[in-house]
């Protein structure tokens, strides 16, 4: 799985800005402040997506979700993340 994920990231072709601007579905763009993509990239996506919300949360790739390998013990961030998703979905 790791090798497939690395290959996917290496060969990903960015979507043209017009495609992202055309998406009308609401989206919650969430990224960790120490994630693989940069927070600046998330901000760019947020600015292109007409009905997007943006959250930059403390953590690295997956830790803010409580991912087992990278989660910080006793962190309240995964609970905050779940609350943010619940609120977004309820809107």
> Which tens digits make up the pLDDT trace of 18-31?
999 999 999 999 99
Q: What is the pLDDT of residue 70?
A: 57
Q: Do residues 32 and 58 lie in contact, with contact meaning Cβ atoms separated by under 8 Å?
A: yes
pTM of the model: 0.77
Q: Considering only CA atoms, which of 66, 57, 11, 55 is closest in space to residue 32?
A: 57
Q: Is the pLDDT of residue 65 over 90?
A: no
Domain annotation for the chain: domains and CATH numbers: 2-90 (3.40.50.1820)
Helix, strand and coil content of the chain, in percent to the nearest 5, comes to 45, 20, 35
H/E element, 90: helix 77-90
pLDDT per residue as tens digits for the range 39-60:
999 999 999 999 999 999 988 8
């Amino acid at each position: 799985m790791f090798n497939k994920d690395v290959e996917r990231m290496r060969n990903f072709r960015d979507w043209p800005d017009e495609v992202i601007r055309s998406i009308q579905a609401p989206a919650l763009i969430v990224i960790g402040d120490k994630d693989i993509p940069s927070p600046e990239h998330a901000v760019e996506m947020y600015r292109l997506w007409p009905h997007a919300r943006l959250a930059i949360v403390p953590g690295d790739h997956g830790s803010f979700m409580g991912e087992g390998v990278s989660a910080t013990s006793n962190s309240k961030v995964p609970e905050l993340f779940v609350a943010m998703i619940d609120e977004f979905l309820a809107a």
